[in-house]
Structure 1
Amino acid sequence: MIKNLEYWINKQSPARILSLGFALVILMGALLFMLPICHKANEPVDFIDALFVSTSAVCVTGLTTIPIGDTFTPIGYTILAILIQIGGLGVASVGVLFTLLIGRKVGLKTRQLVVEAMNFSSYGGVVQIMIVFLKITFFTELIGAVLSFLIFLPNYSPPAALGIGLFHSISAFNNAGFDILGAYDSLSAYANNVPMNLVTTILVIIGGFGFYALMDLYQNRFQWRYLRLNTKVVTFMTIFLLISGTILLKWTTDETWLEAWFQSVIARTAGFSTFSLAKFTQPALLVFCVLMFIGASPGSTGGGIKTTTFFAVAFQAISSTVENNRDEIFHRKFPSLVFRKALTVLFYGLAVVFVGTFLILFFEPDLDLSSVLVEVTSAFATVGSTVGITPGLSTPSKIVLMICMFIGRLGPTTIATLYIVKGMNEASYTEEDIMIG
């Protein structure tokens, strides 16, 4: 039986194994959430809500159909934190961690899963990179937990502040956006608390920056000229989006500069809130949707189409109109394959958001376009921000959002290649041009 299972697994593509692994973790989490020890006696959880919360946790999204703080017990919070941690690290990374803990050698199949999940370009040094990745994760979360504990301590007992602080650190670093403070208020009570805003945004930025880029920055002592092109693009886009997002949100809302900064960071893709999206103007919601859709950077805990994807598409669009352009920037030249990959990710991302928005508008005719667009973009980009419509959605709409979260976490191109059968192309058709624009 075990040999047959191992044979079947070895025959599957990395994309299929990753998808199946995430699906099994989600199902297990949903079943655990329904246990009486996980929720309060007067707050039963039905299967669809348990499945939704589990999907949102494993996909590090943060959308929820039930008030987490008012529904679950400390055991439920613990399971939720574990699911967020698994989702942030990724099933493949957890597999590497477990393999190392039991003292076994990391096999080729596991390495393939890591390369697929983390978008690495080669197999070289994968295990060493993953060890550093795990150390960065747990060290950063520990520091974040201590700082969060000190922030929550004035309002909670030491044991409660410790639990909330640890949960908050895990949720923030993994860009999940869950909180256990009660109701759906998120961090609105801490809107003017500078330490809370700074600790949360720093955790989100580090988690969403990309571990490969973080390692490159550290190894080269932050010296710009020695950095890889990927790190330069990630750094440039992160700074550009954070600053431009803050300015645009401050301009289009009644937020303070601190709130605008917080929301600009959170849109990339954490889902906490110190200023309700229901108070956003239509231009602000549009800006927020764009920030969510772009998301974090590759190899990070965040979602979206990724900063490098957006940069590549925008760079190609602009450079194609420049005379004698050679696709060069930061003293490096982009391979043509990068642009094709970026356009593929962009197309599938837009397709998921369009189809998801259409379906929910069909199932919920009383909702307006902007609210649904925010909800679907938030689900696909694994952000977790909402204008407040999530709890009132029908079961079909909840299923649509779960599918969007699942696709967003694994990546639309990964899902699209699940059933591709490889074969030899012995012949091809004659090439012919078409008119564009």
Structure 2
Amino acid sequence: METMLAKLKQRIKHSSPPRLLAIGFALVILTGTILLMLPISVREGAHVSFVDALFTSTSAVCVTGLIAIDTADHFTTFGCTVVAALIQIGGLGVTCVGVSLILAAGKRVSFKTRKLIKESWNVDSYGGLVRLVKSVLKLTLFFELIGAFLSFLVFVQDYTVPHAIGISLFHSIAAFNNSGFDILGGLQNLIPYRDDVLMNLVTTGLIIFGGIGFLVIMDVRKKRSFRKLTLHSKVVITMSALLILIGTVALKCTEDITWMGAYFHSVSARTAGFSTYSLGEFTNAGLFVLVLLMFIGASPGSTGGGIKTSTLFVMCNVIRSVIFNKHHTAFRRRIADSVIMQAFVVTLLSFCIVAISTFLLCVLEPEYSFMQLLFESVSGFGTVGLSTGITSHLGDAAKIVLVATMFIGRLGALTIATLGNFKEPSEVSYTTENITIG
């Protein structure tokens, strides 16, 4: 037994950063599953199966928000606290939480751990990584406390003060980490607050700040001028604003909802998962708009998923360059060929994952329409959490498919693709020959 543990420890020690990230997330999900099945976590008279506990834990750690069972109706205060903790860990990232514990213990952060931080946050260098983690923790605490206070002003009107405090803290954590969980009960999400301006603005504000990425927030705070920002920050801010605007107009044109409702769902669809209207009543056109927004997702280095706003920007820029025969430039900066290739690879891999997931759901749940199942699949992959209302009615096999989809979506298609051991590229050079395209 000791020999096996020693071998396992050695194997983990020499694993690549992507593999260690995957193992870390998997262990947190498994731990969350066990905790959610404990008697202290489950309400009296409620039943939580292993698959439902696994689904809830995965959805929380992957900051998705899809639920097989209602959180408030099935879990006690302890259980809801576990879900909130899983959301926080998933939003910050296993590596960030681990480094925080190392720093709290007064120990040095090893080079291996720094490599994990670099991998999980997609930063270019090893410099200032510990300082980055500290800044991320401070920003998270700041936004979540502000969000909780403003949410409390709304919830205290309907609940007792202690209950309102609990709901406000949970909601703020879920919103900033772009996870659509709620503990209002009855699978109602935020529908009772569709006309509450403060709740809509607070929730979307938390989603936006959590979704644009910590690096962008710190860049804006440091330079305070759009012209002085890095290319990454300019791309993220521009694309985020453009997508919110396009999504709002498109949803207002396709659905009988208010402008506030259209704006709310345009923001929420990009990986947050809160809803103020029943999506089961949306038209196929409206659902398709949400599918596109969910697939695009948030921005790199954020708490959200999807292919990311920067990926879409790079691909659109390349298409523009090809059509007008121009260089691959943006904001007077040239985009590297390696970045362009990565953008197209990420998108293609993501499309394949969604296609496979949707196909399996169609096979396992033939009673539901293609749009409903596509919506569930993209929602899982984009770590969004929006649903047309069929999640809780799916069979165990379909739920397992969504668990795998959420896990892949949280880690990223490219990270999953590089989990195996790959050799260094060969130095051999071959003759170039053209292939006819189009």
**TM-score bracket for this pair, using the shorter chain length:** over 0.9
Using the alignment, how far apart are the partners of 2:333 and 2:428 within structure 1? 35
| Deviation of 1:6 (Å) | 5.1
User: Secondary structure of 1:304's match?
Assistant: coil
Structure 1 residue aligned with 2:78, among 62, 75, 79? 75
Where in structure 2 are there 5+ consecutive unaligned residues? none
1:320-339 mapped onto 2 (5 Å cutoff): 320-323=322-325, 325-339=326-340
User: Secondary structure of 1:35's match?
Assistant: coil
User: Secondary structure of 2:142's match?
Assistant: helix
Q: Deviation string for 1:393-421 (max 9, x for gaps)? A: 11111111000000000001100000132
| 1:301 lines up with 2:287 in the alignment | no
- For residue 123 of structure 1, what is the aligned residue in structure 2? 126
1:140-289 mapped onto 2 (5 Å cutoff): 140-221=143-224, 223-289=225-291
Amino acid at match of 1:53: T
CA contact (8 A) 1:34 1:44 kept: no
Amino acid at match of 2:89: I
Amino acid at match of 2:202: V
Moved over 4 A (4+): 1-6
User: Secondary structure of 2:40's match?
Assistant: helix
Using the alignment, how far apart are the partners of 1:99 and 1:372 within structure 2? 42
User: Secondary structure of 1:40's match?
Assistant: coil
For the aligned residue pairs, the C-alpha RMSD in angstroms reads: 1.2
User: Secondary structure of 2:437's match?
Assistant: coil
TM-score scaled to structure 1, two decimals? 0.98
Using the alignment, how far apart are the partners of 2:214 and 2:284 within structure 1? 35
1:13-92 mapped onto 2 (5 Å cutoff): 13-92=16-95
| Deviation of 1:428 (Å) | 4.6
Q: Deviation string for 1:68-116 (max 9, x for gaps)? A: 1111100001000000000000001001101110001111111111111
1:314-353 mapped onto 2 (5 Å cutoff): 314-323=316-325, 325-353=326-354
CA contact (8 A) 1:303 1:408 kept: yes
- For residue 314 of structure 2, what is the aligned residue in structure 1? 312
Q: Deviation string for 1:151-174 (max 9, x for gaps)? A: 100100000000000000000000
Using the alignment, how far apart are the partners of 1:419 and 1:277 within structure 2? 39
| 1:112 lines up with 2:109 in the alignment | no
CA contact (8 A) 1:278 1:387 kept: yes
- For residue 433 of structure 1, what is the aligned residue in structure 2? 434
Q: Deviation string for 1:113-162 (max 9, x for gaps)? A: 11111111111111111111110001110111111111100100000000
Using the alignment, how far apart are the partners of 1:263 and 1:428 within structure 2? 50
Alignment coverage as a number of residue pairs: 435
- For residue 423 of structure 2, what is the aligned residue in structure 1? 422
| Deviation of 1:314 (Å) | 1.2
| 1:384 lines up with 2:388 in the alignment | no
Structure 1 residue aligned with 2:294, among 288, 292, 296? 292
CA contact (8 A) 1:68 1:183 kept: no
Identity of aligned residues (%): 51
| Deviation of 1:9 (Å) | 2.8
Amino acid at match of 2:381: F
